[in-house]
Amino acid sequence: MADVKTTGAHVHGEAAHHASYLEENKGIMNWLVTYDHKRIGLMYLWSVLLMFLVGGLFALLVRLELLTPGEDLMNAETYNRVFTLHGAIMVFLFIIPAVPASLGNFVLPLMLGAKDVAFPKLNLASYYIYVVGAIMAILSIVLGGVDTGWTFYTPYSTSTAGAVTLMTLSVFVLGFSSIFTGLNFIATIHTLRAPGMSWYNLPLFVWGTYATSVIQVMATPVLGITTVLLVMERVFQVGIFDARLGGDPVLFQHFFWFYSHPAVYIMILPGMAIISELIPTFSKKTIFGYRGIAFSSIAIALVSFLVWAHHMFTSGQSPLTNAIFSFLTFLVAIPSGIKVFNWTATMYRGSISLKTPMLYAMSFLLLFTIGGLTGLFLGTLATDIHLHDTYFVVAHFHYVMMGGTVIAFIGGLFYWWPKMVGRMYSEKGGALSAILVFIGFNATFLPQFIMGSRGMPRRYFTYLDQFQPLHQFSTVGAEILGAGILVAILTLVASLRKKPDAIANPWGGSTLEWEAQSPPVTHNFVGTPVLEHAPYDYRHAKVEG
Partner 1 sequence: MLPRQGSTIAGPMDDLYMFIFWLSVVFFIIIAGQVVWFGMKYRRRGPGEKTPHITHHLNLELAWSIIPLLLCIVLFFWGFDGYMKATVVPGDAMEIQVRAKRWQWEFEYPDGIRALNDLYIPVNKKIRMVMISDDVLHSFWVPEFRVKMDVLPNRYTDVWFESTIPGTYNLTCTEYCGKGHSTMRGSIKVLTPVEYEDFVKEGPPELKNMPLRELGELVYKSRGCESCHSLDGSRRDGPSWKGIFGKTEKFTDGTSAVVDENYIRESLMNPHSKIVATYEAVMPVYKGLLRDREVLGVIEYIKSLK
Where does this chain bind Cu ion (CB under 5 A)? Answer: 261
Indicate which of Cu ion, partner 1, none lies near residue 381 (CB less than 5 to 8 Å, by partner kind).
Answer: partner 1
Indicate which of partner 1, Cu ion, none lies near residue 194 (CB less than 5 to 8 Å, by partner kind).
Answer: none
Indicate which of Cu ion, partner 1, none lies near residue 323 (CB less than 5 to 8 Å, by partner kind).
Answer: partner 1
Position 322: which residue type? Answer: N
Q: Which is nearer to partner 1, 45 or 293 (CB)?
A: 293
Q: Which is nearer to Cu ion, 216 or 356 (CB)?
A: 216
DSSP H helices, 192-248, are 204-236
The CA-atom distances, in angstroms, between 102 and each of 3, 39, 380 are 27, 9, 36
Q: Which is nearer to Cu ion, 278 or 378 (CB)?
A: 378
Contact 458/389 with Cβ under 8 angstroms?
A: yes
Indicate which of partner 1, Cu ion, none lies near residue 239 (CB less than 5 to 8 Å, by partner kind).
Answer: none
Specify the DSSP class assigned to residue 6. E
Indicate which of partner 1, Cu ion, none lies near residue 472 (CB less than 5 to 8 Å, by partner kind).
Answer: none
Indicate which of Cu ion, partner 1, none lies near residue 261 (CB less than 5 to 8 Å, by partner kind).
Answer: Cu ion
Q: How far is the CB of 191 from partner 1 (least distance, A)?
A: 28
Q: How far is the CB of 70 from partner 1 (least distance, A)?
A: 10
Q: Which is nearer to partner 1, 306 or 366 (CB)?
A: 366
Residue number with the smallest Cβ distance to Cu ion: 261
Contact 220/181 with Cβ under 8 angstroms?
A: no
Q: Give which of 455, 487, 489, 492 is closest to 470, Cα–Cα.
A: 455
Task: Return d(Cα 159, Cα 142) in angstroms, integer.
Answer: 19
Indicate which of partner 1, Cu ion, none lies near residue 195 (CB less than 5 to 8 Å, by partner kind).
Answer: none
Q: How far is the CB of 160 from partner 1 (least distance, A)?
A: 7
Q: ∠95-215-156 over CA atoms, to 5°?
A: 65
Q: Which is nearer to partner 1, 102 or 329 (CB)?
A: 329
Position 541: which residue type? Answer: A
Task: Return d(Cα 460, Cα 65) in angstroms, integer.
Answer: 11
Q: Which is nearer to partner 1, 333 or 437 (CB)?
A: 333
Q: How far is the CB of 534 from partner 1 (least distance, A)?
A: 9
CA torsion 533-534-540-545 (nearest 10°) is 130
Q: How far is the CB of 248 from partner 1 (least distance, A)?
A: 6
Q: Which is nearer to partner 1, 161 or 494 (CB)?
A: 161
Q: Give which of 543, 536, 503 is closest to 519, Cα–Cα.
A: 503
Q: How far is the CB of 52 from partner 1 (least distance, A)?
A: 24
Q: Which is nearer to partner 1, 7 or 351 (CB)?
A: 351
Q: How far is the CB of 265 from Cu ion (least distance, A)?
A: 9
Q: Kindly report the number of other CB atoms within 10 A of residue 2's CB atom.
A: 24
Task: Return d(Cα 148, Cα 11) in angstroms, integer.
Answer: 54
Task: Return d(Cα 430, Cα 348) in angstroms, integer.
Answer: 24
Q: How far is the CB of 75 from partner 1 (least distance, A)?
A: 8
Strands (E), 2-83: 4-6
Indicate which of partner 1, Cu ion, none lies near residue 528 (CB less than 5 to 8 Å, by partner kind).
Answer: none
Q: How far is the CB of 520 from Cu ion (least distance, A)?
A: 38
Q: Give which of 534, 277, 542, 307 is closest to 413, Cα–Cα.
A: 277
Q: How far is the CB of 310 from Cu ion (least distance, A)?
A: 6
Indicate which of Cu ion, partner 1, none lies near residue 252 (CB less than 5 to 8 Å, by partner kind).
Answer: none
Strands 4-6 and 529-531: antiparallel
Q: Which is nearer to Cu ion, 88 or 521 (CB)?
A: 88
Partners of 219 in the beta sheet? none
Q: How far is the CB of 314 from partner 1 (least distance, A)?
A: 5
Q: Which is nearer to Cu ion, 39 or 310 (CB)?
A: 310
Strands (E), 37-153: none
Position 530: which residue type? Answer: V
Indicate which of Cu ion, partner 1, none lies near residue 228 (CB less than 5 to 8 Å, by partner kind).
Answer: none
Indicate which of Cu ion, partner 1, none lies near residue 326 (CB less than 5 to 8 Å, by partner kind).
Answer: partner 1
Task: Return d(Cα 243, Cα 308) in angstroms, integer.
Answer: 22
Q: Which is nearer to partner 1, 98 or 456 (CB)?
A: 456
Task: Return d(Cα 353, Cα 283) in angstroms, integer.
Answer: 6
Cα 211 from chain centroid? 14
Q: Give which of 385, 408, 232, 381 is closest to 321, Cα–Cα.
A: 381
